[in-house]
Amino acid sequence: MWTFATAGRVVAGAGASEGVADLVAGLGRRVLVVAGGHADVDALAGGDEVTVWRHRGEPTVEDVRAGVARAREVRPDVVVGWGGGSVVDTAKAVAALCRGDGDVLDHLEVVGAGRPLPADAPPVVAVPTTAGTGAEVTANAPVRVREHGVKASLRGRTLQPAVAVVDPVLTLGCPPDVTASSGADALTQCLEAFTTPRATPLTDPLAREGLRRAARSLVRAHSHGDDLDARTDMSVAALLSGMALANAGLGAVHGLAAALGGRLGAPHGEVCAAVLAATTEANVRALRRTDPDGAGLRRYAEAAAVLTGRASARPEDAVAWLRDAAAALGLRGLTALGLAGADVPEAARAALAASSTRANPVALEQGELEDVLRASA
Ligand SMILES: NC(=O)c1ccc[n+]([C@@H]2O[C@H](COP(=O)([O-])OP(=O)(O)OC[C@H]3O[C@@H](n4cnc5c(N)ncnc54)[C@H](O)[C@@H]3O)[C@@H](O)[C@H]2O)c1
């Protein structure tokens, strides 16, 4: 059995963000705009019932608490998240918690109490300015928990935005390093949602098309940031990756990123990219050993064909393509991102406990995850 859920409405294409003020006006009068440092939200900031709250960085428990406190004062009818995935997630979390009286830790999975989110929440209009996370169409929000050194998610139906406005024009100003790390996240999400056994007939075409667009345009968007066609491919790839992951799940790459994200402080997409090739290699090796004629390897062969453009590609060719792409994008390995060799066993243990790891195409042991981390140095 499977289900499919996404944002209530998706408005996409160059110039789509010009309609946000009208969209928001149709949803309510009192507006809280959670905006990234760079985001130009002047079009929204008109009336005296609009509050703009700026947020920077990947959200921590403390950030979400601060946003919720502001929102409980404002009591918004609608919340806008205008910025990178970090800002969109912060807006989603703030909206989901602001009408209850609980704390973020009451609802956080893995390290929190994991209680269901309040049923009542203002609608969210999500306006991404990076092409990467797909957070505009997902029902979770990862939050960094410093004291545990991990990232864990809030998860629930009320986190799904009412409207996703995907305008590639907003990503034209994204610097190359952010283009590379966020784009690598979209690529990873498409690959993991395509290769997980939880993939469905509805997520497959989304993940496949997202993979195709990211393979075609990620390096180009990085080297030629003003290429609107490449930016459009990446915005669509990110959107499709979010739709796919929200309904199929991910895999060990995101399990490792959850384990590392709290301790490294490096961009999420770059952490994913650092472990992507080695995790794919470990998965393919384990599948060759345990299920050589199974669907898992066929999925990797198909993904390799999409990535390389060669119908005869083997699963291992995907690994080589991913290594080349990471090099072309100037993405760093785990040592440069701050992982010390002594932290490897604990990080692998935390990755085994992460929710995404359960959707991996094959069960990897602690030792295999440690090898992945060492090979990603
Ligand atoms: N909710 C989900 O389903 C989901 C999925 C994947 C990742 N995530 C989360 O998303 C976060 C990462 O988001 P991200 O990769 O979009 O990066 P980000 O939001 O952290 O932004 C990275 C940097 O780019 C800047 N920036 C963003 N857009 C810009 C623009 N157009 N021009 C110039 N600068 C710009 C930001 O200010 C920031 O400094 C992580 O916390 C990750 O865990 C969430």
Distance 265 CA to ligand 1 centre (A): 13
Please indicate whether residue 356, judged by its CB atom, sits closer than 6 Å to ligand 1. no
Query: Is there an atom of ligand 1 within 6 Å of 178 CB?
Result: yes
89 CA closest ligand 1 atom index:
1
Q: How far is the CA of 332 from the centre of ligand 1 (A)?
A: 17
pLDDT tens, position by position, 13-34: 999 999 999 999 999 999 999 9
Residue 36 phi/psi, 5-degree rounding, is -70, 160
Q: Whose CA is nearest to atom 25 of ligand 1?
A: 84
Task: Indicate whether 121 pLDDT > 70.
Answer: yes
Q: What fold does the segment set 9-171 form as a domain?
A: Rossmann fold (3.40.50)
Q: For 250-276, how does the pLDDT look when each residue is reduced to its tens digit (9 = 90+)?
A: 999 999 999 998 789 899 999 999 999
Query: What is the domain partition of the chain in residue ranges?
Result: 9-171, 176-375
Of 65, 111, 55, 121, the residue nearest 88 (C-alpha)? 55
Q: Measured in angstroms, how far is the CA atom of residue 168 from the centroid of ligand 1?
A: 14
CA separation for the pair 123, 121 (Å, rounded): 6
Environment class of 211 (CB within 10 Å of its CB; exposed 0-12, middle 13-18, buried 19+): buried
Cβ burial 180-191 (10 Å sphere, 16+ → b, else e): bbbbbbbbbbbb
What integer best gives the mean pLDDT of the chain? 96
Taking the centre of ligand 1 as the mean of its atom positions, its distance from the CA of residue 145, in whole angstroms, is 17
**Quick one: pLDDT band at residue 47, thresholds 50, 70, 90?**
low
- Report pLDDT digits (tens) over 216-250: 999 999 999 999 999 999 999 999 999 999 999 99
pLDDT in tens, 345-355: 999 999 999 98
Class of domain 176-375: mainly alpha
Query: Which residue from 168, 194, 196 is spatially nearest to 182, judged by alpha carbons?
Result: 168
Separation of alpha carbons 37 and 78, rounded Å: 20
pLDDT score, position 147? 85
Which numbered atom of ligand 1 lies nearest the CA of 170? 31
As a three-state string, the secondary structure of 86-100 is HHHHHHHHHHHHHCC
- Give the span between the Cα atoms of 92 and 77, in whole angstroms: 13
Joined tokens for residue 121 = 């929440």
Average pLDDT over residues 96-100: 97
Percent of the chain whose predicted confidence (pLDDT) is above 90: 93
